Amino acid sequence: MRFSKMQGTGNDYIYVNCLEETVNEPDILARRLSDRHFGVGADGLILIRPSRRADFAMEMYNADGSRGEMCGNGIRCLGKYVYDRGLTDKRELDIQTGAGIRHLRLFAGEEVPAGGEIRMVEVNMGKPVLEADQVPAISEHTCMIREPVRVGGVEYPMTAISMGNPHAVIFTGRVRGLDLQRLGPPIEYHGRFPRRVNVEFAQVEDRGTVRVRVWERGSGETLSCGTGACAVLAAGVLNDLTDRQVTVKLIGGDLLAQWREDTGEILLTGPAVHVFDGEV
Ligand SMILES: N[C@H](CCC[C@H](N)C(=O)O)C(=O)O
């Protein structure tokens, strides 16, 4: 089976083109190939499938084999993949995901000769969902905005937001030095989140810049999370800590997120990089 390794700000995935390959048990394959010692090594597996309702469909699995409804870094690389390999000549694409259809705009950038590779992609990530029961999160309030949640005897004020997948955003003074291996799992598996949760620790540097570290549902700490960056933006605005356009500084690189007033949708822009092709 042929695969491609791609990454967006260090959030790396194995891509299989299911228009040409057959994958029978994707959850088992995701676990095996994501292993960074016994497999290829990645934050998960992304299958590219045909779609009747869109140009292509993205089926995403975390490193533990669980499904992710949406993947912001992953979908940018999928857009690059299908364009660079001639599966489409369109630079604006609709992609069917587990969270609905998402619209991409592909850029080569001035520095790349015309017809060159795609380097940057803008994704319309849709509208953030704030109703707690749709995240889903269990809360006595309609929305979980900076609500203290007890974890290991300590209360963490969390803002729960869905970008199609569940996120808990915790604003903190300093993200560097946080022990995510210790803090991540008890929040990911906390009873307040029936479908588990992705956890973002966010340090507001100014109203246009947030430094973020992420513990991802199903993958552990990753170098970046696209849906997480959008959840941090929405939480920053809701808590009046940021403006509606922010640079999200993650370990793996920077993402630009903008929450549009007119449509209520969040636009996410960032790099998409091909690393290598291989066979298993
Ligand atoms: N771990 C996430 C899926 C991947 C999201 C992230 N890698 C992104 O770029 O949005 C989940 O289980 O919902």
- ipTM for the whole complex: 0.98
The predicted structure's pLDDT at residue 112? 47
pLDDT value of position 114: 56
Distance CA 151, CA 269 (A): 33
What is the reported pLDDT for 107?
86
User: pLDDT at position 116, please?
Assistant: 67
**What domains are defined for the chain?**
2-126+270-279 (3.10.310.10), 132-262 (3.10.310.10)
- Please tell me whether the peptide bond between 194 and the residue prior to it is cis, using omega within 30 degrees of 0: no
Task: Report, as ranges of residue numbers, the positions in the chain whose pLDDT lies below 70.
Answer: 109-116
CA 225–ligand 1 middle distance (angstroms): 6
Q: Whose CA is nearest to atom 5 of ligand 1?
A: 71
Asked whether 218 lines ligand 1 (CB < 6 A), one says yes
Residue 34 Cβ inside 6 Å of ligand 1? The answer reads: no
183: left (phi over 0), alpha (psi -120 to 50) or beta: alpha
Question: In this structure, which residue's CA is closest to atom 2 in ligand 1?
Answer: 68
Alpha helices for 9-154 (secondary structure H): 26-34, 72-84
CA 222 to ligand 1: nearest atom: 7
Distance CA 190, CA 192 (A): 5
200: which 2 tokens? 């973002």
CB-side neighbour CA atoms (13 Å) of 135: 29
Annotated binding site for substrate: 11, 62, 72-73, 165, 198, 216-217, 226-227
Find the largest Cα–Cα distance for the chain.
Answer: 57
CB 226 within 8 A of CB 73: yes
What contacts 144, CB < 8 A, 6 or more positions away? 132, 135, 137, 158, 159, 160
3-class DSSP assignment, residue 243: coil
- Please report the pLDDT score of residue 180 as a whole number: 98
User: What secondary structure letter does DSSP report for 244?
Assistant: S
Question: What positions carry a catalytic annotation?
Answer: 71, 225
Atom of ligand 1 nearest to the CA of 216: 1
Task: Decide: pTM greater than 0.80.
Answer: yes
Mutate to test the pocket of ligand 1, among 216, 223, 224 (most ligand atoms within 8 A of CB): 216
Q: What is the C-alpha separation between 235 and 161, in angstroms, rounded?
A: 8
- Are 72 and 99 contacting, i.e. CB atoms less than 8 angstroms apart? no
The pLDDT of residue 117 = 84
Rounded distance, CA 187 to CA 87, Å? Answer: 40
